[in-house]
């Protein structure tokens, strides 16, 4: 099953006999300093207009636990995540489609979590809400309670040691912007640079100007050129495990399974004992 769905196919599915549960995960990474613009309010954006029937899911509160030593967006508690999904109407026997404003990172985080916890049928709306040409509705939907019971482990997950090992034995992609990988700038975390051995593969290069994924064959060629070939194990990380989920989604579209290091650079760089590489080369 394809991990993404077009807006036209979503419209058809919503009119079909088993319409998907829709999750609206609009979110933006905020770098605003005190006294600047207020952070993006995904819930307010949802209430002002969403695809009919979509339920808002808060990335920071429902798709992650509190920031700490495990990074800025650690895994949510399994019971809390399951309860949030059931409140949103998610059931094991009903497909799920996730979307955000168009960037795709937040939607991919929800996609990955649902896949990791065993949901068999989850897709991301390619291009997000910006690609939707149908009607919107306002207000707060009240879905029927779902029955989804999360069972972690359905897809591969990396911790810091596993990411370091994979960078040596397979291929570990760094999904952040190239300047952060090289250590030239670091707007959020304690230090710039990358995990030694990791390969720079910015997630922004997986999509076209319209925010939709490149064709599967182009994605496959890109990742193979970067080293994801010859049966190597593949993993991916970013700043805090959000844009890396989007890279894992791109890899899935390309037919390449990948493990996700959720703690990512925000966890790695918080421990001064861990090595840091800088510059354009992996080592």
For the annotated catalytic residues, the residue numbers are 238
Q: Where are the alpha helices (DSSP H) in the chain?
A: 7-14, 42-48, 59-62, 78-87, 105-116, 160-169, 178-182, 216-225, 243-253, 264-268
Phi first, then psi: give them for residue 75, nearest 5 degrees: -55, 140
Tokens of 163: 């990411």
* Max intra-chain CA distance, the chain: 55
- Other CB atoms within a 10 A radius of the CB of residue 109 amount to 31
Residue 137 contacts residue 50 (beta carbons within 8 Å): yes
Tokens of 274: 């861990």
Angstrom distance (rounded) from CA 78 to CA 113:
10
Residue 13 contacts residue 3 (beta carbons within 8 Å): no
Residue 96 contacts residue 119 (beta carbons within 8 Å): yes
Angstrom distance (rounded) from CA 79 to CA 170:
33
Residue 116 contacts residue 153 (beta carbons within 8 Å): yes
Please tell me what DSSP assigns to residue 90: -
């Amino acid at each position: 099953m394809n991990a993404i769905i077009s807006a036209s196919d979503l419209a058809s599915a919503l009119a079909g006999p088993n319409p998907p549960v829709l999750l609206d995960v609009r979110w933006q990474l905020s770098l605003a300093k005190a006294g600047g613009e207020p952070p993006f309010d995904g819930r307010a954006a949802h209430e002002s207009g969403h695809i009919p029937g979509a339920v808002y899911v808060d990335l920071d509160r429902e798709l992650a636990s509190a920031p700490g030593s495990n990074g800025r967006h650690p895994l949510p508690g399994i019971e809390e995540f399951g309860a949030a999904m059931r409140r949103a109407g998610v059931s094991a026997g009903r497909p799920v489609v996730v979307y955000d404003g168009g960037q795709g990172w937040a939607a991919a985080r929800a996609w990955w979590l649902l896949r990791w916890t065993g949901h068999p049928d989850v897709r991301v709306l390619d291009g997000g809400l910006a690609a939707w040409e149908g009607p919107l509705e306002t207000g707060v939907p009240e879905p029927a309670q779902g029955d989804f019971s999360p069972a972690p482990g359905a897809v591969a997950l990396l911790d810091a040691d596993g990411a370091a090992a994979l960078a040596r034995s397979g291929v570990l992609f760094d999904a952040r912007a190239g300047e952060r990988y090289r250590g030239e700038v670091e707007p959020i975390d304690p230090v710039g640079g990358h995990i030694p051995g990791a390969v720079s593969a910015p997630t922004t290069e997986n999509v076209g100007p319209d925010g939709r994924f490149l064709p599967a064959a182009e994605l496959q060629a890109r990742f193979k050129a970067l080293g994801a070939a010859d049966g190597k194990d593949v993993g991916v990380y970013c700043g805090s495990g959000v844009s890396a989920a989007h890279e894992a989604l791109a890899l899935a579209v390309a037919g390449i399974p990948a493990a996700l290091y959720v703690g990512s650079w925000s966890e790695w760089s918080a421990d001064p004992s861990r090595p840091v590489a800088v510059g354009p080369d992996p080592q």
